Amino acid sequence: MIRQMYPEEYACGRKIQEFILQTYGHRVSAEEISYLSVHIRRIRFSGSEDKI
């Protein structure tokens, strides 16, 4: 569901997943990618209503 709601943020989470795997050899779960996606979305749009 997160993948459909926030496709750009999910793609960013997948890039982070790949970075962590390549750099540290640690696998990131689908749940962790969803968690990252939600927080990336929050950061992207925090305070955006003040910028009008």
The CATH class, in words, for 2-44 is mainly alpha
pLDDT tops 70 at residue 51 = no
> What is the pLDDT confidence band of residue 50, given thresholds at 50, 70 and 90?
low
pTM of the model: 0.81
- Number of C-alpha atoms within 13 angstroms, CB side, residue 7? 1
Per-residue pLDDT of 11-47, as tens digits, reads 999 999 999 999 999 999 999 999 999 999 999 999 7
Task: Give first-to-last CA distance, the chain, whole Å.
Answer: 30
Q: Domain coordinates of the chain in residue numbers?
A: 2-44
